Amino acid sequence: TGSGGANAGIPENAVEIARRHLVQPWPVAGSVGAEARALIDDGEGVYITDGDGKRLIDGPAGMWCTNLGHRREELARVMYEQAMQLSYNTPWYTMNAPAAELARRIAAAAPGELSHVFFTTGGSSAVETALRFMQFYNNVRGRPDKKLILSRGGAYHGSTYLAASLNGRPRDRDWMDGTDDLVVKLSSPDPFRRPKGLDVNAFANLLVEEFRDRIAAIGADKIGAFVGEPVQASGGVIVPPDGYLQRIREICRENDILYISDEVVTAFGRLGHVFASGDVFGLDPDMITFAKGVTSGYFPLGGVVISERLLEELRRSNHPDAMFAHGLTYTSHPIGCALALKNLDILEDEVLAHAREVAPYFQTRLKTLEDLPLVGEVRGLGLMACVDCVADRESKNPLQLDKAVGARIDAHCHELGLLVRPLINMCVMSPPLIITHEQIDTMVAILREGISRTMEDLRREGLWQG
């Protein structure tokens, strides 16, 4: 089924065609190129409608991206108007005004000395750009060996080769290659699964110690950057211990290691501010990567905000002709940038304040699900949260139940009118920022019913005794 909505010419049997011709992202070998996924036909506000005409709350806001919700007229209009004025210009030797103005607005909202923006096509290309910029910066400064990148377990930084090499979630690298010689992996700052017997403060100390020790062992002259999400998003909404990120930032500064804050998820309102690094965590990174919410997902756009200090050092270096040989056909795309300006206007005028107001209610209501025995923890910050299901609360072991639990909950919730993002044993919730108290109540009620039904299924099938 599936009407194709307003898009004349889209056939009725899209699902069947997809099964024959579409390779979906993150497929498994056994069904690659032969997979049908839930067809989504249209969206409005916090709702989407599937191919059977069923209306669902868009629990993950697409992929943490439709921050202003679907079918926002002003956003659609500005894309149309920009396309009618100038649909594209090459950034190789021309420029456009929306990109310049958007860079100014983003720099104004960014913390510390962050002053300039390089625009990309999304998050992976933003992280890739930040890393290649670090390499270039150290080459120009005559430190060609200072290139290793520190990353952490639980991290997700993208699907291009170098960015993907930083990923630290279980399974991401099982069947995939990467440039392991360029990356050093550290522990995830996950308080829920911290070593037994340690309180959260002692756990934070342990993480900081590990960070220092690893730098001392490798040598700061070999390490170019640390890349970290303020809240590890796809790793399961891992909110780090208080003060930990600031301490890491200080160690980076002491060792001349660039601090790259990956805000692909957390920027543009998810944590109630344009950027979370400064306003939520008190950080002043050397670079911030962003994407997703910058256009509320209406157009692929991302970027890196870069510190004035780094650019100034390059301009004053002994190699004025050294070229940062890096740029994308769609860098500074005029439609994306014009759209992002309108998106930012709406965020700043009305939606950031609403997101800050509604976030505590969202967290408190979701937290009530912890009385369900399958739920090990509900955690989160701002308008991102994770329901983490466990085999039992003592071991916190998600593995016996892996693969099926998140997907089972999602299937029940879909029937009940909520799209969930299943992640192995977890369900991640990050609705459009415009969500109301009432819609949050509905979301939580559906989740409770979906989890309860999943518990019954698991008991009946002898997979869980909780």
Residue from 291, 314, 428, 434 binding ligand PLP (CB under 6 A) = 291
Dmax (CA) for the chain in angstroms is: 71
* Contact yes or no for 290/303 (Cβ under 8 A): yes
Closest CA to 367 of 237, 229, 193: 237
Is there binding between residue 276 and ligand PLP (CB under 6 A)?
no
Q: Which stretch binds ligand PLP (CB under 6 A): 8-16, 129-137, 155-163, 193-201?
A: 155-163
Order the strands of the 40-44 sheet from edge to edge.
Answer: 40-44, 47-50, 55-58, 418-419
Is there binding between residue 123 and ligand PLP (CB under 6 A)?
yes
Residue from 2, 122, 153, 422 binding ligand PLP (CB under 6 A) = 122
Q: Which 348-387 positions form the footprint of ligand PLP (CB under 6 A)? A: none
Buried b (16+ CB within 10 A) or exposed e, 400-426: ebeebbbebbbbbbbebebbbbbbbbb
What letter does residue 240 receive in the DSSP assignment?
P
Q: Which residue has the tokens 């040598």?
A: 219
Tell me how long the chain is. 466
Is there binding between residue 262 and ligand PLP (CB under 6 A)?
yes
Q: Which helix (H) or strand (E) holds 87?
A: none
Is there binding between residue 158 and ligand PLP (CB under 6 A)?
yes
Task: Spell out the SS3 assignment of 319-373.
Answer: CCCCCCCCCCCCCCCHHHHHHHHHHHHHHHHHHHHHHHHHHHHHHHHHHHHHHCC
Instruction: Provide, rounded to whole angstroms, the least separation between the CB of residue 291 and ligand PLP.
Output: 5
**Residue nearer to ligand PLP on the CB measure, 69 or 303:** 303
**Residue nearer to ligand PLP on the CB measure, 215 or 428:** 428
Instruction: Provide, rounded to whole angstroms, the least separation between the CB of residue 315 and ligand PLP.
Output: 29
Q: Which 300-329 positions form the footprint of ligand PLP (CB under 6 A)? A: 302
Is there binding between residue 165 and ligand PLP (CB under 6 A)?
no
Q: Which residue has the tokens 């909110």?
A: 239
Q: Which 56-95 positions form the footprint of ligand PLP (CB under 6 A)? A: 63
Instruction: Provide, rounded to whole angstroms, the least separation between the CB of residue 84 and ligand PLP.
Output: 27
Which residue of the chain is nearest ligand PLP when measured via CB? 123
Distance of CA 444 to the CA centre of its chain: 22
**Residue nearer to ligand PLP on the CB measure, 262 or 388:** 262
Residue from 252, 265, 288, 358 binding ligand PLP (CB under 6 A) = 265
Instruction: Provide, rounded to whole angstroms, the least separation between the CB of residue 159 and ligand PLP.
Output: 6
In 110-190, which residue ranges form alpha helices assigned H by DSSP?
Answer: 123-140, 161-165
For residue 193, the tally of other CB atoms under 10 A from its CB is 18
Instruction: Provide, rounded to whole angstroms, the least separation between the CB of residue 119 and ligand PLP.
Output: 13
CA distance 139 to 322: 9
* Contact yes or no for 249/226 (Cβ under 8 A): no
**Residue nearer to ligand PLP on the CB measure, 41 or 262:** 262
Instruction: Provide, rounded to whole angstroms, the least separation between the CB of residue 268 and ligand PLP.
Output: 13
Q: Which stretch binds ligand PLP (CB under 6 A): 134-142, 209-217, 243-251, 259-267?
A: 259-267
Phi, psi of 57 (to 5 degrees): -75, 135
Write out the two tokens for 49: 């409608």
Residue from 49, 67, 82, 124 binding ligand PLP (CB under 6 A) = 124
Instruction: Provide, rounded to whole angstroms, the least separation between the CB of residue 426 and ligand PLP.
Output: 14
Is there binding between residue 229 and ligand PLP (CB under 6 A)?
yes
Q: For binding to ligand PLP (CB under 6 A), which residues are involved? A: 63, 122-124, 127, 156-159, 229, 233-234, 262, 264-265, 291, 302
